Amino acid sequence: MTRRIVFLDRASLIADMRAPSFAHEWIDHEQTHPDEVVARLEDADIAIVNKVQLTADILAQTPELKMIAVSATGTDIVDVAYCKAHGIVVSNIRNYAVHAVPEHAFMMMLALRRNLLGWQQDLRDGLWQQADQFCLFTRPVNDLFGSTLGLVGFGSLGHGMQKLAAAFGMKVLIAEHRNAAVVREGYTAFDSVLREADVISLHAPLTPETRHMISTRELDLMKPAAILINTARGNLVDEAALAQALKSQRIAGAGFDVLSVEPPREGNPLLDLDLPNFILTPHVAWSSREAMQRLADQLVDNIEAFVAGTPRNVVS
C-alpha cells in the first residue's frame, strides 16, 4: 500500500527531511490558504501541518485522512475532539527545542535586566560621547544572579529554563495552576509567584483555562521591577493590558516572541510600542537550525510509527 502524505506548509520548516521507510507519495506545498486545504488533502492518508487550521468542517470533507502529523508541539490548530471521534490519529513534536527556547528566553532576560536597548539608545543620542567620566549611570543594571525566576508551565521547556537558571545562580519558583485548590509539593501558588519573582517566564500551552492568564490583575501583582517573558503563545497575555503596564512603567519590562495573531497583519498593541524596556521577536525562539532538524527527524519518526501500527506522541 502506498501512503499519500501531504505537507501543507513546508515553508514553516528549514531542515532536511528524510524519506519515510515505507512506500509513499510525498507532496509539499510551501503554503496553503484556508480555501485550498480540502482540495490538497483529497485522497491523502497523512497530513503534515504547522499552522494550517484543520477544523471539524474541513476534516469532515477529508474522509481518507488517517493521521495528522503536527510539525510543532502546540495542537490548537487541530480539532482534536473531532479526530478522536472519527479515528484520526494526531501526533505532535516533543522536546525538540529544549535548548533553543530557553536560550532565547534568557537572551531577552539578560537584555532587559541589563538594559541593553536603553544603552544602545543612549549611544545613538551621544550621551557617552558627552559624558564627564568613563561610564554612564543613566539606566539601572541588574544581575540575574540572586534574583528569582518564576516559571509558569513546567514541561520540558520549563525544565530547560530551570537548568539555565541554576547556572546563573537564580532562585526558581514553579507556579501552580491558576485558581488551583491545592498546591502540589515543589510548586508555589500562582499569585505568590507573581508577587515574588523578579522574572516571570511563560511556558504553558494555550487552552481556554490559560487564555489571558496574565491581564491587569496579574500585572498589578508583579513587582514594579519585574519583567515578563513569553515564548509560548501570545494569547496567554492580555496584550492591551501589557502595553499599558509597560507605558505606565507598572512593570520594568517584557520580552515577547509571540503575538495573539501571527503574522499580525491587522496590527497589535505590542507592535506600536517603541520602548527600551520591550523586546519583540517574530516567533523564532524555537527555530535554531539544530532544533528544526530535530523536529524534522521526529516528524518522520512519528509518521513511520503510525504506519507501523504503533503510533507515538499521540495527542488525546
C-alpha cell at 301: 519518526
Q: What is the pLDDT of residues 146-159, one digit of tens each?
A: 999 999 999 999 99
pLDDT over threshold 90, residue 101: yes
Active site residue 203: no
Confidence band, pLDDT 50/70/90 cuts, at residue 95:
very high
pLDDT over threshold 90, residue 74: no
Rounded-to-integer distance, Cα 312 and Cα 89, Å? 9
Q: What is the mean pLDDT of residues 81-92?
A: 97
Rounded-to-integer distance, Cα 26 and Cα 4, Å? 6
Domains 3-96+290-307 and 100-280 share a fold: yes
Q: Are 253 and 229 in contact (CB under 8 A)?
A: no
What pLDDT, on the 0 to 100 scale, is given for residue 153?
A: 97
Q: What is the pLDDT of residues 14-65, one digit of tens each?
A: 999 999 999 999 999 999 999 999 999 999 999 999 999 999 999 999 999 9
Domain limits, the chain: 3-96+290-307, 100-280
Average pLDDT over the chain, rounded to whole?
A: 96
Rounded-to-integer distance, Cα 113 and Cα 142, Å? 5
Of 33, 262, 289, 290, the catalytic one is 262
Q: What is the pLDDT of residues 151-210, one digit of tens each?
A: 999 999 999 999 999 999 999 999 999 999 999 999 999 999 999 999 999 999 888 999
What pLDDT, on the 0 to 100 scale, is given for residue 1?
A: 86
Active site residue 262: yes
C-alpha cell at 79: 480539532
Q: Are 148 and 171 in contact (CB under 8 A)?
A: yes
Of 233, 250, 294, 312, the catalytic one is 233
What pLDDT, on the 0 to 100 scale, is given for residue 116?
A: 96
Using the structure block, give the residue that is written with the C-alpha cell 539578560.
110
Confidence band, pLDDT 50/70/90 cuts, at residue 316:
confident
DSSP characters over 252-308: SEEEES--SSSS-TT--TTTT---TTEEE--S-TT--HHHHHHHHHHHHHHHHHHHT
Of 154, 161, 140, whose CA–CA distance to 253 is shortest?
140
C-alpha dihedral over 56, 58, 64, 70, to 10 degrees? -80
Q: Percentage of the chain with pLDDT > 70?
A: 100
What pLDDT, on the 0 to 100 scale, is given for residue 117?
A: 95
Active site residue 265: no
Rounded-to-integer distance, Cα 239 and Cα 215, Å? 8
C-alpha dihedral over 270, 274, 278, 284, to 10 degrees? 60
Q: What are phi and psi of 223, to 5 degrees?
A: -60, 145
Helix H or strand E segment including 105? helix 100-113
Rounded-to-integer distance, Cα 271 and Cα 280, Å? 8
Of 86, 283, 304, 312, the catalytic one is 283
Helix H or strand E segment including 3? strand 3-7
Rounded-to-integer distance, Cα 18 and Cα 16, Å? 6
C-alpha cell at 249: 512603567
Show the beta-strand stretches assigned E in 110-165: 148-152
Q: What strand order describes the sheet that includes 253-256?
A: 171-174, 148-152, 199-202, 227-230, 253-256, 278-280
CATH superfamily of 3-96+290-307: NAD(P)-binding Rossmann-like Domain (3.40.50.720)
Q: What is the mean pLDDT of residues 288-300?
A: 97
**CATH class of the domain comprising 100-280:** alpha beta
pTM: 0.90
Q: What is the mean pLDDT of residues 213-231?
A: 98
Rounded-to-integer distance, Cα 51 and Cα 27, Å? 17
Q: What is the pLDDT of residues 251-272, one digit of tens each?
A: 999 999 999 999 999 999 999 9
Q: What is the pLDDT of residues 102-132, one digit of tens each?
A: 999 999 999 999 999 999 999 999 999 999 9
